[in-house]
Structure 1
Amino acid sequence: MLELLGLSRVGEAVYRSMLANPRLDVGALAAETRLTERQVRTALDELADLALLSPVSGDGALRAVVSPEVGLAALLASAEEEAARKQRQIEQTRAAIAAIAAERSAGRSGNEIRRLDGVEAVRARMAELALTATRECMSMNAGAADRPDSRAASAPLNQQALERGVVIRAVCRESFRNDPETLAHAHWLVGLGGQMRTVPTLPMPMVIVDHRIAILPVNPHEAAEGAIEVDTPGVLAASCALFEHVWATGTPLGDAAAAGDDGCLPQERALLGIVADGHTDEHAARKLGVSLRTVRRMMSDLMERLSAQSRFQAGVNAAKRGWI
């Protein structure tokens, strides 16, 4: 418990025993703490080094134990001073990073498009932006579940940003709730102050940082191809507007998706729209981020509720009822 103060578990045990009975000698302390006399003597040296023992008169006598109100309080004050010093160093380092990033940005002209080739390049740039964000990070995440390595890389960056007061808003597909590890990570992020909502489908993945930089996929259907980074005002305005529209339709994490007055859930409505557009079940599964079996089960249930004998009839009946 007191390791932060430099006191080992053995040292703490001897210290507590001495506080309870200051008259114990080395042999009695060993019996009381179930330690060897050698361990007790080592612990006594440790306590002396930490100024938790004070000298007394008389040759060979044990030193008197210093009260916790004095001894431990002094150690805690020293630990707090060291922590404050390290925090100042961290803030100075963060300011230096921001200054270097600002110099780099100043060297770039506006209205640029920068290609980020591959997943690793995108991840590295996202780490840079997370460290320098000052206002808000908005993202649309089209994946049904996050990869463990992706979560591990982003978690400390998100935590640091939230601690700096950066607002984090994320929209994910409804299907991500089906992955326990991804869902647990989402609850952790929300617990730190982040905001998250889900929608049945997303038009594309994107990240917008401080309303000044947008990271957009080269190919919305293949993340491995990388992304482009843009700071063009027009593209940023369109990207922010798209995000706000999707955000407004999302269901906050922790709430269940609400059915409409017609009893149709948002994910079911999205499936009907996909089918009505003539797409296959396979396409619907990719779009919704669920398995082909789940799509077929949902479609079978919808056809029964719509009294339809075919997918085409289901689309017609859904349109008549105002479901799509």
Structure 2
Amino acid sequence: MFPVTAEDENPFAALGVTASQQTLYVVLLYNPGSTLSELAGMSEAPPARLAALLLEMEALGMISAEGAAGADAAADRAYSAHPPDAVVETLIRRREAEFIRARIEAKRISGDLLAAEQRSNPERLVEVVDGLDAVIQRYEQVQRAAVRQVKAIDKPPYAVDPVSPNEIERERLAEGVEYRAIYTPEALAIPARMELARRDSGFGERSRILENPPAKLVIVDDEMALMPLRGDDPSITALIRPSTLLDILIDVFDTCWEQATPLRFDGEPGSAGVRPRLSEADRHLLTLLAAGLKDEAVARHTGMGARTVSRHVARLLRTLNARTRFQAGVHAARRGLV
């Protein structure tokens, strides 16, 4: 007689093997070449039940049999168990294939449901988040929901203090979530904002700078996005779920990322080793250049004449080894001069 293994003692249960199959498998490991009649003599189970178990185990790749196949010849077949390590590998591969099929089917069903939802309730594709407190809360929620990646275009104005560390970002970076940030020159012109970006880079953020990207934007796992509905008012923001609109925003970010210039900080490869000596007036002028202002606008801000501005700009271009006004502002921002 051989007792049936209890379900909670069956080591193969996670691989889809029943307690009865596992028990019969162990018997065959110690009694290779046993026939159905011999197995029936060691068990209280009826021969028909044992025959069914043997067929199931053959199909799972746990055992093999010698002798003619078929119901009439079943009693004469000699059964042997395959080695446990080979059986486990076979069962694992079988389960993995089942998991993959299940995942594919789940995605197909989800896609069908999403398509149906888009047709019947298109308003659910875009949720309007109204109020600074609500926007801040949703911004924190989408970051915590990230599994793979957070992509952001960082530009003023801000719903949160622009010089306060994003502690959630630093936690998620430590957990393996990738952060990619595109900063505008206006963002890095904010006092202490450049230093904050430098510290975030040290935590693992990948950062670039781009003049005049089209929108402030946060995209999480390419599955949802946050974007202000009015560029000058972050308190009214849209949460965008999978849709053609989200696909467009993903393309917008990816295009901006390709066009942006990598941000490098002092001490990093490629950053300048010598910090030029600049006056406060020079720094103020560089801040305006980093913001993309033309000579006429700079003259209005500083009270200087346009020709004087042009002379100062030419000198700064030489000092910073830059070819254009915007490049001078970028170089200065990278090196923490503004």
TM-score (structure 2 length as normaliser): 0.44
Point out the structure with max Rg over C-alpha. Answer: 2
TM-score (structure 1 length as normaliser): 0.46
